[in-house]
Chains A and B, each alone.
Chain A
Amino acid sequence: NAGVTQTPKFQVLKTGQSMTLQCAQDMNHEYMSWYRQDPGMGLRLIHYSVGAGITDQGEVPNGYNVSRSTTEDFPLRLLSAAPSQTSVYFCASSYNRGQDNEQFFGPGTRLTVL
């Protein structure tokens, strides 16, 4: 299993540009989520999904869109990039039942918005 994969690893955008961060998992996990990590802030939840076709907002959703058309993929779209969105973005997945709920994180995408 590849686990949770994210592309690209690095990205530089100009203010106002849009882009999609890709996330895929091959563990058949129902639950997927996006976090951003900023210095001194820990990880903050952006959006999450409990299954294909179901998404919901986390703590910091503004400026981001998500959709979940398949179990495997959960892309994060930046509509109009702003310097405040410079961060490291992590995708995570887990089962959505019982005690078996460890979240597996991807390697991250480092985004810089100029």
Chain B
Amino acid sequence: QKEVEQDPGPLSVPEGAIVSLNCTYSNSAFQYFMWYRQYSRKGPELLMYTYSSGNKEDGRFTAQVDKSSKYISLFIRDSQPSDSATYLCAMSLIQGAQKLVFGQGTRLTINP
């Protein structure tokens, strides 16, 4: 069993929809949780970063962490075609984003 599980999709939704992306993990020692966005044939770029449990909002994006359930989510409101990308969750044991453990990534397409 992988330490971090993420549904690879693909996920296709109409423009304007609310998108929910999720990851589960098995290692309760993970403390730092991240979401990366990766456009086709590009390197990943950091989208959201949260520590421990709770919510974090940045514009149309909201990240949630539920450590009791070992479950993290990323919500995208008012989705746009430019949001079409692969979304990767990642987590680490220690501060410094070192030794990240990634999920498989979910490919998302927003249809105009």
Contacts and interface: CB of A to CB of B under 8 A. Distances in A.
Interface of A: 4, 31, 33, 35, 40-45, 48, 50, 58-59, 90, 92, 94, 96-99, 101-103, 105-108
Contacts, number: 61
Interface of B: 4, 6, 8, 41-46, 49, 88, 90, 95-105
Contacts of A41: 104
A90 B43 contact: yes
A45 B104 CA distance: 13
Given A105-B45, A107-B43, A96 B88 contact: no
A43 B42 CA distance: 13
A56 B101 CA distance: 16
A4 B6 CA distance: 27
Given A102-B46, A105-B44, A43 B102 contact: yes
B93 to A, nearest CB: 12
Contacts of A98: 95
A44 B99 contact: no
Given A33-B98, A44-B102, A90-B44, 17 more contacts: A4-B43, A31-B97, A33-B99, A35-B102, A40-B104, A42-B88, A42-B103, A42-B104, A43-B102, A50-B98, A59-B101, A94-B96, A101-B95, A101-B98, A102-B97, A105-B45, A108-B41
